[in-house]
Structure 1
């Protein structure tokens, strides 16, 4: 496994390292090591409250990274681990953009996505994925509960995007994203 700085992120205060994805890391990437890692039903924890999280994407590569613009803006996909050990899209989140051109994440710039977090009776592993031009970036895994019907009918909703600039004397301190 190769740990390599690239574009970095943190999910809801979770700071975990990830690896450059390759054949050697493929089985580890699914997140299933034991039966305890497989999705399980848990008591209904839903409530009238919506839960939101922050996904930070920071560019420390020394170059500008381009992200394609979809019909609705910049896409961020939430994937969940199913019982078959495969990742499935459970939500597509769109951050509106004011331009029809690809979005540019400049050196030292940070994007903060404010996203709805999955909720439901099924406990599983979840990650966020976004596609840059020439590469796909995955966040670190985290535990969440989701609605199992999302495996068949993924949700589509908006999220909010704020662009932040790191000052020259500061460093972004987020967990590394892995290229898929």
Structure 2
């Protein structure tokens, strides 16, 4: 499996390499041109690998006896999906469920975690709360406000009470 995934990663990196050139000469006249293969931006590689990760194929380890002894091979768990190519990532163990507490993995789960109601990212209530929904409560916080700098050399502030909506996972 590691060999498969390493090859898929190496292939994807090679597929995204591009030729970069620089001109040398008086006022950039390009009398001499130097070119080299360059890696794409980290974001491009990351997005590409995330797509690969999201479409990884689940495999099953099969043991069978051959003349050299017991051999382990991987076969796709679900036959109705296309078999993975050398460019696809594969796995045979499911990721742990971080939504629920699990002392084995060290996960505390996401219950009672603060979430961002307006975010569509990993901190958003929809994703972070694992479909369980969220609670909203109003929270009053004392903060320094209306601060004034006095010459020389101190700042005086008033104390204000602000009300915030706090969202936490159910």
- Output the TM-score relative to the length of structure 1: 0.17
Structure with bigger gyration radius: 2
Which of structures 1 and 2 has the larger relative contact order (alpha carbons within 8 angstroms, sep 6+)? 1
Which structure features the higher share of helix residues? 2
- Output the TM-score relative to the length of structure 2: 0.18
